Amino acid sequence: MSLRHALLAASCLALPLAFGLSGAVQAQPVSGLYVGAGTGINMWHDQASRGIRFHDDDIGVAGVASLGWGFGNGFRAEVEGSIRNSEIQKVVSGAGQIGSSGYLNQYGAMANLLFDFDMSSFGASPSAVRPYIGGGVGYLWSELSSIRLNTGGSAYRIDDTSGEFAYQAIVGAAWGLGSITPGLSLTTEYRYLGALDGSFNIGRTAGPANATVPGSVKLPTSNHSVLIGLRYAFNAPAPALVAAPAAPVAPEPSIARTYLVFFDWDRADLTDRARQIVAEAAAAAPRVQSTRIEVAGHADRSGTPQYNQHLSQRRADAVAAELVRHGVARTAITVTAFGESRPLVPTADGVREPQNRRVEIVLR
């Protein structure tokens, strides 16, 4: 079995594997740096120029590698390198077949912009698959190699490379493997790659010159690729663990008293009003005979989950420090950060909600 046919078989086997995984794991959203790579099949259309037609009767191979950045809102930008190989089965003209045995090798450097769709918006939550679309522009080097022509008693050969502006369209889907490795996804995608016409010189190697054979040919490039690959996002959150049911505990005799301290957007410093509320909580702690003071930080959903987790921690620490300044023992304070996971007002991702930017002080 040739390498080309082995890659084709692997691609066909990987497609049902992706569908089998879709119901068991969650697709990881992309935020920050990621890398990706894929391989699969490539189909190059037959092309003609100046009375000479190049036939590709076989399926070629393709491979891509990318380095990108996810912006946390569905958009991704990446740079990509690619390689494609197709075999030229025969070359024909008006007089019939005049050549065979050659290759078209293509090497591309592209800049892509893509958008991931969150399928949980359509009721599929948690989302096991994230479809995406995108496009790119760049440069493509095409090499016609080892193509031999024989016509009118003369021999010719094409071994030349041409570089041209290129463009592509991408449609794909990422299948989450986060339960195996956080940030890892299996990708399946279709790509159309095109480029401006390239010019390739034809050199005579034997016999007299033949006026019917041009000195060069100009060929357009049109590729259709189906790829299977892997993508890894470096700062993806770890999958949530399902906590075991807690044993029932007897209710506490005291009644909890709660104070809410609100913050400006993307800030963790205390306003004058916030300091007044913290002072009231500190003064009330001895009167209610509090044995435990819980300080819990929260954030809205306008940032990434990782950033909001750190922001809620900074807010909780600021409130705890203010309580200590008002005479509360630090050993009596328990500090917790919940990020954006426990909103007072449920919102969509990216919404700035003032009531969710808070710290809760609970006297027990």
Give me the CATH number covering residue 336: 3.30.1330.60
What pLDDT, on the 0 to 100 scale, is given for residue 1? 39
Backbone angles phi, psi at 186, to 5 degrees: -90, 130
Whether residue 199 sits in one domain with residue 109: yes
Q: Does pLDDT of 195 surpass 70?
A: yes
Q: Does pLDDT of 47 surpass 90?
A: no
Residue range 276-296: mean pLDDT, rounded: 86
Rounded-to-5 percentages of helix, strand, coil across the chain: 20, 50, 30
198 vs 203: CA distance, rounded Å: 16
Closest alpha carbon to 71 in 230, 233, 228, 186: 233
Span 248-285, pLDDT tens digits: 655 555 567 889 999 999 999 999 999 999 999 888 88
Answer yes or no: are the C-beta atoms of 177 and 14 closer than 8 Å. Answer: no
163 vs 47: CA distance, rounded Å: 17
Whether residue 189 sits in one domain with residue 329: no
Q: What Cα–Cα distance (Å) separates residue 68 from each residue in 44, 80, 117, 160?
A: 27, 8, 17, 32
Whether residue 213 sits in one domain with residue 87: yes
Residue range 181-192: mean pLDDT, rounded: 93
345 vs 351: CA distance, rounded Å: 11
> Whole-number mean pLDDT of the chain?
83
> ∠ at Cα 296 (291, 300), nearest 5°?
165
What pLDDT, on the 0 to 100 scale, is given for residue 242? 52
Whether residue 188 sits in one domain with residue 78: yes
Whether residue 263 sits in one domain with residue 216: no
Whether residue 109 sits in one domain with residue 173: yes
Structure tokens at 300: 């809205």
Span 13-30, pLDDT tens digits: 444 444 444 444 445 568
Tell me if 247 is assigned to some domain. Answer: no
What pLDDT, on the 0 to 100 scale, is given for residue 6? 43
Q: Is 56 helix (H, G, I), strand (E, B) or coil?
A: coil
Tell me if 305 is assigned to some domain. Answer: yes
Number of domains within the chain:
2
What pLDDT, on the 0 to 100 scale, is given for residue 25? 47
What pLDDT, on the 0 to 100 scale, is given for residue 127? 53
Domain span including residue 285:
257-363
- The reported pTM is 0.58
Closest alpha carbon to 364 in 223, 212, 254, 279: 254
What pLDDT, on the 0 to 100 scale, is given for residue 274? 93
- The percentage of residues in the chain with a pLDDT greater than 90, rounded to a whole number, is 45
Q: Does pLDDT of 315 surpass 80?
A: yes
What pLDDT, on the 0 to 100 scale, is given for residue 244? 60
Q: Is 22 helix (H, G, I), strand (E, B) or coil?
A: coil
Extract long-range pairs of 92-96: CB within 8 Å, 24+ residues apart. Answer: 92/52, 92/53, 92/55, 93/51, 93/52, 93/53, 93/151, 93/212, 94/51, 95/151, 95/212
Whether residue 337 sits in one domain with residue 278: yes
Boundary residue ending a domain (198, 233, 268): 233
What pLDDT, on the 0 to 100 scale, is given for residue 88? 81
Tell me if 246 is assigned to some domain. Answer: no
Boundary residue ending a domain (181, 200, 233): 233
Residue range 154-166: mean pLDDT, rounded: 91
What pLDDT, on the 0 to 100 scale, is given for residue 209? 84
Q: Does pLDDT of 124 surpass 80?
A: no
170 vs 134: CA distance, rounded Å: 5
192 vs 103: CA distance, rounded Å: 20
Predicted confidence band at 121 (pLDDT cuts at 50, 70, 90)? low
Alpha carbons within 13 angstroms on the beta-carbon side of residue 321 total 9
Give the CATH number for residue 16: 2.40.160.20
Tell me whether strands 47-49 and 52-55 are parallel, antiparallel or unpaired. antiparallel
Q: Which of 64-68, 233-237, 248-252, 350-354 has the lowest mean pLDDT?
A: 248-252
Span 327-336, pLDDT tens digits: 888 888 899 9
